[in-house]
Structure 1
Amino acid sequence: MAAAVESTEEEVVVPEVGESISEVVIGQWHKQEGDSVGRDEEIVELESEKATFEAPAPVAGVLRRILKQSGDTAQVGEVIALIERVPGGGGSAAPAASTPPAKSAPAKPPKAERAPAPKQPEPKQTGGAEPAVMPAAARLLAENDLDAGQVEATGPGGRLLKEDVLRHIAAPQRSTPPAPQKSAPPAPASKPAPAVTVRHTPVQNADAREERRPMTPLRRRIAARLVEAQKTAALLTTFNEADMSAIKQLRKEHGDAFEKRHGVRLGFMGFFVKAAVEALKSCPELNARIDGDELVYQNFYDIGIAIGIEGGLVVPVLRDADRLSFADIERSIEDFAGRARKGQLKVDEMMGGTFTISNGGIYGSLLSTPIVNPPQSGVLGMHTIQERPIALNGQVVIRPMMYLALTYDHRIVDGKGAVTFLKQIKQAIEEPARMLIEV
């Protein structure tokens, strides 16, 4: 008589998401132990050093055990959960309990099970819709007996951050008046105290004066890359400035028609991407990289665009930028920026890149020295546009000027090449028609 087929446990492992990513932080679990899951259903959020993504269930079944809780770190390939796969479940969602073995099957001793890992406390539900709660924020809510709906969420996509909860907790402390200071006993008449006015500043809870936060995977990656660039490359920065009058006039004359036709604004970045591509063609060493003892000259132009988000800086890449129109460039950058703030960029969209452009001007930066993104050999820094007096044809005139900075790897690029590159950027920006006729 044939024995009944027993259900088996399938491992949920951290998938490979990029050749340079070795670990992730466990985010929010969308399913809890005992919940049914369908094949390829997204069950947990994973935060890597470059992006946030979802991990799917490898099979349909029941989520029996969560081995890694929200906030834990896991290596790529590590098991983070176990799913009980029910025979005959196929690819659809499984029932909440496994099918018992047939009566005719020989009895087997029960399998000893480990105690399930403690579940992550969940914020209490309120009447209205609650924001998505990040793991650290969920822990603080549970520790302070708070509902997520009571706290104002300021994170990207309406997420509730740890900072939001801390701000909410600290608010009553700020509004509570400090306790009155006890007066000191009067000094003896024989030794009068000197007339010194002492101002007592009320000290709040010592814990509120200092806060420790674990570095996010993105921030750790940024720190490592910056240190790597400083240690491995011979970085040098050269500067110039560009008169933005011609581009501003072009945008004024054709901006409305451009937006009406293409559905996107005509920004400054399109001009700088086009100018950078033309300058890279003339100075190929700035589009090269070092590989061992060899210089690799790249005959394609994948331009990274630095975008600031709440957790740090991400650099999605415009592939084959030399083949893109102004509208293609502006649409791509707008799409990158929108998805970056929502944490929806894909890892492969931030891989590679032969040259980077960073615009610190949107934050008001007048001048800075950007850092090269290894293994690239150059990065162009844009800055804020400021009206300044300049000498032009023997006259002092007021023009909208922008400082430009080029940081380059001196192991690959000589000073002459760097200065020539930046000068060509300046000429292309001040005379945009040069980019159209390729001179």
Structure 2
Amino acid sequence: MTTEIRVPTLGESVTEATVATWFKKPGDAVAVDEMLCELETDKVTVEVPSPAAGVLADIVAAEGETVGVDALLGNISEEGNAGPEEVKPKAEEKAAAAPAAAGGTSVDVMVPTLGESVTEATVATWFKKVGDTVAQDEMLCELETDKVSVEVPSPAAGTLTEIVAPEGTTVDATAKLAVISSGEGAAAAAPAAAAAPAATTSAPASSGKDVEDAPSAKKAMAEAGLSAGQVSGSGRDGRIMKEDVAKAIAAGTSAAAAPAPAAAPRAPVAADDAAREERVKMTRLRQTIARRLKDSQNTAAMLTTYNEVDMTEVMALRNEYKDLFLKKHGVKLGFMSFFTKACCHALKEVPEVNAEIDGTDIVYKNFVHMGIAAGTPTGLVVPVIRDADAMSFADIEKAIAEKGARARDGKLSMAEMQGGTFTISNGGVYGSLMSSPILNPPQSGILGMHKIQDRPMAINGKVEIRPMMYLALSYDHRIVDGKGAVTFLVRVKEALEDPRRLLMDL
């Protein structure tokens, strides 16, 4: 039986596309929904999944061809119907490698759901090797995305007979990671598959820049006088797309520009020092943190305003009620709930700090989704507490404790870190006395908390020792004026120095 591969719906007013890249060649086995090729339109890139499991029999529309909606791209010969002659050797190889399945069942280990808008991940660590026995739901490997780490459990009990994606491999959201064999054939399959990783591991290294750039990108580069080395590709495996060329042109890249040196401004290192260095590739999370922070500095007109707060009343209130609070609500009463409440109160008075810029519009948020920055072993993440302005002290403390624990364990989902309108960052837990936090785009404000330190203060004409904390508000000066920023900090200060104001909405 043969199934046709056709161009999917491309979007309103889009009538044609260019076949940018085929990920499979005739004779390759494919799984249902596995990505076969990538189409490029004037606006977007469209991936075409396999409509059925089987073997790619032929390719009708080759790379570079322009096709219309519903045009025939190729054909899939479903398993049990080999199709063209060149397909049969592949099927025979597959059959020859299948003794493991005799008397047992093979189960594919697939990439789990990565989260909204996340299309790929990197295989960070395999906890098991080929030939190992695994229990159902036992952790097999860990994937790393731009934001979170995802653990992959075993879908069945048996033996790990094949690792398809070794450590360091970038996989898409529908990729197969490994094969688990259960039953009598599992033991026989393991030794035969043990040699596979060695051959497989070399594959990613050879991929390099042998990736074909999108045809429209080549044309745009030729017209702009750019070389491929001057454009950073955002497509699969570093493929340069049309929009990447547009970004390079907008950034001022030109043919006359001297190519950037491969090793930036790195000072010469003595031979004996070099031997003691360790070079480690940045994780995807760390790369994303670096890129987003620099983008924030480059985009926003960022400014920081400072103030200080006397923590005497908050500390006294906390000490008086912390035991009763813990007994009733099952969670400790910390300072973060006070700061979250104080910020929500101040944001109502200064709504531009809770807003964001969208082109030439300002989008005001009539709610507060509070981001709470949390340090983890792999980097800084910002889980979001949704509708924090409508929550009680107990609900806020429970949400912070739960999301903080999930952040440290690397179990936060993408949805839990999206949609924040304002952020609080507590550097005081590490001993920071003063700092200027960087905005978390597209947000327009972030409050930095710091270490509580006893300092001599003039109180009613007398010098008293008070527990003081410096506050820092970094804000986007494009929409938040100095008056608004100072007003926000003063309202936070007033609410913390007299917590009763929060109860009376003053």
* TM-score > 0.5, shorter chain as reference: yes
Q: Is the 8 A contact 2:161 2:194 kept in 1?
A: no
Aligned mates of 1:75, 1:397 — CA distance in 2? 61
Aligned mates of 2:147, 2:304 — CA distance in 1? 27
Deviation of residue 47 (structure 1)? 1.8
Matched, 1:364 2:431: yes
Matched, 1:404 2:471: yes
Aligned mates of 1:386, 1:404 — CA distance in 2? 13
Aligned mates of 2:298, 2:407 — CA distance in 1? 29
Aligned mates of 1:120, 1:277 — CA distance in 2? 53
Matched, 1:248 2:315: yes
Deviation of residue 50 (structure 1)? 1.9
Higher strand share: 2
Matched, 1:390 2:457: yes
Per the alignment, residue 51 of structure 1 pairs with 148
SS of the equivalent of 1:401 reads strand
Per the alignment, residue 97 of structure 1 pairs with 185
Per the alignment, residue 27 of structure 1 pairs with 124
Greater RCO (CA < 8 Å, at least 6 residues apart): 1
In structure 2, do the counterparts of structure 1 residues 284 and 30 end up closer, same or farther at CA, with 3 Å as the change threshold? same
Q: What amino acid is the match of 1:304?
A: G
RMSD over aligned CA atoms reads 3.5
Per the alignment, residue 115 of structure 2 pairs with 18
| Structural mapping, 1:252-331, within 5 Å | 252-331=319-398
In structure 2, do the counterparts of structure 1 residues 291 and 39 end up closer, same or farther at CA, with 3 Å as the change threshold? farther
Aligned mates of 1:242, 1:57 — CA distance in 2? 51
Q: What amino acid is the match of 2:374?
A: I
In structure 2, do the counterparts of structure 1 residues 262 and 208 end up closer, same or farther at CA, with 3 Å as the change threshold? farther
Deviation of residue 115 (structure 1)? 6.9
Q: Is the 8 A contact 1:43 1:56 kept in 2?
A: yes
Q: Is the 8 A contact 2:131 2:159 kept in 1?
A: yes
Bigger drift between 44-53 and 236-245 goes to: 44-53
- Taking structure 2 as the reference length, the TM-score comes to 0.59
- Taking structure 1 as the reference length, the TM-score comes to 0.67
Deviation of residue 95 (structure 1)? 2.2
Per the alignment, residue 69 of structure 1 pairs with 166
Aligned mates of 2:465, 2:450 — CA distance in 1? 18
Bigger drift between 341-350 and 11-20 goes to: 11-20
Per the alignment, residue 81 of structure 1 pairs with 177
Match of 2:419 among 352, 356, 373: 352
In structure 2, do the counterparts of structure 1 residues 62 and 209 end up closer, same or farther at CA, with 3 Å as the change threshold? closer
SS of the equivalent of 1:255 reads helix
Structure 2, gaps ≥5 residues long: 1-79, 82-94, 187-192, 202-269
Q: What amino acid is the match of 1:77?
A: A
Aligned mates of 2:197, 2:416 — CA distance in 1? 36
Per the alignment, residue 300 of structure 2 pairs with 233
Aligned mates of 2:458, 2:194 — CA distance in 1? 79
Deviations, residues 303-353 of structure 1 (Å, cap 9, x unaligned): 011111222211111111112211111122222222322222223222221
In structure 2, do the counterparts of structure 1 residues 58 and 421 end up closer, same or farther at CA, with 3 Å as the change threshold? same
Aligned mates of 2:394, 2:422 — CA distance in 1? 20
Structure 1, gaps ≥5 residues long: 85-92, 99-112, 122-202
Aligned mates of 1:225, 1:266 — CA distance in 2? 33
Q: Is the 8 A contact 2:116 2:415 kept in 1?
A: no
Aligned mates of 2:174, 2:198 — CA distance in 1? 19
Q: Is the 8 A contact 1:309 1:341 kept in 2?
A: yes
Aligned mates of 2:273, 2:473 — CA distance in 1? 45
Identity of aligned residues (%): 53
Q: What amino acid is the match of 1:45?
A: E
Deviation of residue 16 (structure 1)? 5.0
Higher radius of gyration, 1 or 2: 1
Aligned mates of 1:120, 1:246 — CA distance in 2? 63
Aligned mates of 1:47, 1:94 — CA distance in 2? 28
Deviation of residue 254 (structure 1)? 1.6
Per the alignment, residue 69 of structure 2 pairs with none
Deviation of residue 9 (structure 1)? 8.4
Bigger drift between 254-263 and 267-276 goes to: 254-263
Count of aligned residue pairs for this structure pair: 335
Deviation of residue 243 (structure 1)? 0.7
The runs of 4+ residues in structure 1 deviating greater than 6 Å are 3-11, 35-41, 57-62
Q: Is the 8 A contact 1:62 1:96 kept in 2?
A: no
Q: What amino acid is the match of 1:363?
A: Y
